[in-house]
Structure formats: C-alpha cells, structure tokens
Structure 1
Amino acid sequence: MEWYTYVILPALIFVARILDVSIGTIRIIIVSRGNRVLAPLLGFFEVLIWILAMGEILQNLDNWVCYIAYAGGFAAGNYIGMLLEERLAIGTLVFRIITQKDTTALVSALYKEGYGVTEIDAKGKFSKVNVIYIILKRKKLQQVQSIIQQYNPSAFYTVEDIRNAQYGVFPVNRPSTFRRRILKIKR
C-alpha cells in the first residue's frame, strides 16, 4: 500500500500534469491561430486530466509526495509543451529583413526556393536600406534563416507570428521521402 501511495500515485499525478499542461500549451497556440474546432477539443481533455489529477491530490491531502509530483509535473509540462510547439511549428510568420547590402543575390535565392518576396527601398538612420518581407510557414523558418546567413550574414531581421495570410506566394510542399517512394511504387 505504501508503494502505491508514495511512488505510483505521485508518478501518475506527475504524468497527468505533464499531459494537461502540454495540451494547454498547444491549445493556447491553436486558439491564437483561430482554430475553433481543435481548441475546444484540446481544452476538454486538458481539463479532464487536470480534474483527475486534482481529485487524487484532494483524496491524499496528507501525502506531501503528491504535492511535489504535481508541481514537478507542471514544470515538466511547460518544458515539454514548449518542445512540442517548437516541433509542430504551427502557424505563419512574417520575416522582415533590413540590410544596406545589395539584395539581388538574396532575393534570387529566396525566389528559387519558391518564396514570395516584397522589396522596399527605405531610409535608415545613416543611409538607404532595403527592406524585404517574406510570409512563410513556420516550418520553413530555419531554411530562410540559412539562406540569409549564406547571402547576407550581417542583415538585421525580425520574425513575427501572424494569425492568417492568404493569396501569397508560398513554396510548394514537397512530399516526404516516404511519400515520394510510395508515389514511385504506384506509378
């Protein structure tokens, strides 16, 4: 009985908190993107798991190990939720590049990869600058950063989340290696 009370029950509470906090992190991102179907569904499971964990805490108020498991699960859930959000890379970004350098090669490289690019001549504090805007899926962020690093490593840039974008030029999503193999087999 003590094994259950001081090891298994706290472990279950710890895992439950990781799940509900991770789901909550993803739910908040989904809400900010305006998904009206998935957000309530995630919210349902988030709260259901929380109620189950909290119910066990309330039934075992004299078990301090459950409190530690609850707090530890919350902390771990935040961390895991952030990792999940990073891996899922949900959403659309606006990428703004400001540079004094000639942008011809950079813009060509971005066009070659299928990105829509808007260029604006502007005036900075000390000289004329070029401002480049790109709207991209978050999954493509590292690709654009590496293109910039290759063609203009000293460029200043900012990245911002946007809720929605339409009618833009976006790179065509190539099928995964697995899907390409399946498609070859079907032919």
Structure 2
Amino acid sequence: MVILETFYDSTFFTYLLLPFLIFVSRIMDVTIGTIRIVMVSKGQKLWAPILGFFEILIWLLAISKIFENLDNWVNYIAYAAGFATGNYIGLIIEERLAMGIVKIQIITRKSAEELIVNLKNAGYGITHHEARGSSETVSIIYSIIKRTEINKVQNIVKSTNPKAFYSIEDVKQVSHGIFPVRTVTRRMRKSK
C-alpha cells in the first residue's frame, strides 16, 4: 500500500503517466462523441445512446482526475491535446465508416446523355431534366447513392464530363431506390 502511495506521488506518475492517461481518455471520449453525432444524424436509435453512455463515462473519469490535480498544468495540456486529437481521429473513422446514403446532384452544360448512360450502366438509378442556367440550358442529374460509392460516381462524372458541377448532400432516409447490385466476385471476396 505504501508502494502505491509513493508511486502516485512520484514525478513520473504526476507529470507523465497521469497526463498520458488523460490524453488517451480524451481521445477515446471525443472520438466516440464524433461517431455518436453521426449515429444521431443517421437516426441510429440504438447505437447513439450506447456510445453516449461510454463517451460520458470516460469523460467523467478524465475530468475527475483533472479536478483532483488542479495544480498540475501538464494535465490541462494533455486534456486539450486529447480533445483535438480525438476530433481528428473521430473524423477519420467516420470517413472510413462511410455510413448511410447521399444525394448527388450533377449539373452539366455539355449533353448529359453519355453521363446518364454511364451511370445507368454502373447500376445507379438517376433522375434528370433540362433546366435554364444563368446563360444557357443545362442538364441536371440526381442520384441517391451509398456513401461508399461516392468515389466511383465521382470517377464516372470526371471521366465522362470533367467540367460538370456536382454537389453531394447527406440523406437521412429514402423510401425506394435503385442501388448497384454487388457482383458475385465482390461478394465472394468479402466472405473470404
């Protein structure tokens, strides 16, 4: 017991180990918080509260150590650095999860027929119409796609019509849609 008390009072624990643990705790709770916010925006009613529970539990542990050691300025730096790092890591994880669906809107001055054919051949459902732009007629193409497919659709647009303007918006929910069917080889690769 005396050995533990001596360890907790040591310079190593006070200025290195404790700040490191606070830093790691903040990374964890902010990363979880970032993912939780994504889950809330996607309507994930089960995952959002579970993640919120762990986010706050970890935060309480970290902040309690800060308050127990108010005279240790290294803890403040670790806390702030953990917050910043947690935001960064959370965004990277969210980007890699690529959950949900998005709406892509493509506006092109050039004839949209080839782009429409290429998108349809790739298995994407599209809606299109002609519209009046600032100085000329344009074609507008809409498609609802899985977030994991954004790069593929962008590549189709860029290779077919590199000057096309497009925007991408998150979609919370759709009632129907046409999404590309996974190929057998792709499914087989995933099952391995």
Q: So what's the TM-score if we normalise by structure 1? A: 0.93
Q: Does 1:76 align with 2:88?
A: no
Residue equivalent to 1:29: 38
Report the equivalent of 2:130: 121
Question: In structure 2, what is the equivalent of residue 185 of structure 1?
Answer: none
In structure 2, do the counterparts of structure 1 residues 176 and 52 end up closer, same or farther at CA, with 3 Å as the change threshold? farther
- Write out aligned runs for 1:6-25 (5 A): 6-25=15-34
Provide structure 2 residue ranges, at least 5 long, that are not aligned to the other structure.
1-9
Q: Deviation at 1:123?
A: 1.1
Q: Secondary structure of 1:62's partner? A: coil
Note if 1:175 corresponds to 2:187.
Answer: yes
Instruction: Specify the SS of the correspondent of 1:153.
Output: coil
Q: Per-residue displacement from partner, 1:56-115 (whole Å, max 9, x unpaired)?
A: 111111111111000000011111111111111112110000111111211111111110
Q: Which residue of 2 aligns with 1:105?
A: 114
Per-residue CA distance 1:21-55 (angstroms, 9 max, x = gap): 01101101110111111000000000000000011
Structure with the greater alpha carbon radius of gyration: 2
Alignment of 1:156 onto 2:165? yes
Aligned pairs, how many? 180
Deviation of the 1:175 alpha carbon: 2.1
Corresponding residue for 2:140?
131
* Displacement after TM superposition at 1:122 (Å): 1.0
Q: SS at 2:48's partner residue?
A: helix
Q: How far apart are the structure 1 equivalents of 2:149 and 2:43?
A: 21
43, 55, 58: which one aligns with 2:67: 58
Aligned to 1:97, what secondary structure does the other structure show? strand
Structure 1 unaligned spans of 5+: 183-187
Q: TM-score, normalised by structure 2?
A: 0.91
Alignment correspondent of 1:142: 151
Change (3 A) 1:51 1:176: farther
Runs of 4+ in 1 over 3 A off after TM superposition: none
Confirm or deny that 1:5 pairs with 2:22: no
Among residues 92, 100, 107, which one is paired with 2:101 in the alignment? 92
CA 129–36 in structure 1, closer or farther in 2 if over 3 Å, else same: same
Q: Do structure 1's residue 38 and structure 2's residue 47 form an aligned pair?
A: yes
- Cα distance, 1:178 vs structure 2: 4.2
SS in 2 for 1:175: helix
Look up the equivalent residue of 1:175 and give its one-letter code: R
Query: How far, CA to CA, are the matches of 1:19 and 1:156 in structure 2?
Result: 38
Distance 2:168 2:73 in 1: 44
RMSD across aligned positions (CA): 1.1
Q: d(CA) in 1 for partners of 2:131 and 2:188? A: 40
Q: Shift of residue 177 of structure 1?
A: 2.1
Q: Secondary structure at the match of 1:135?
A: strand
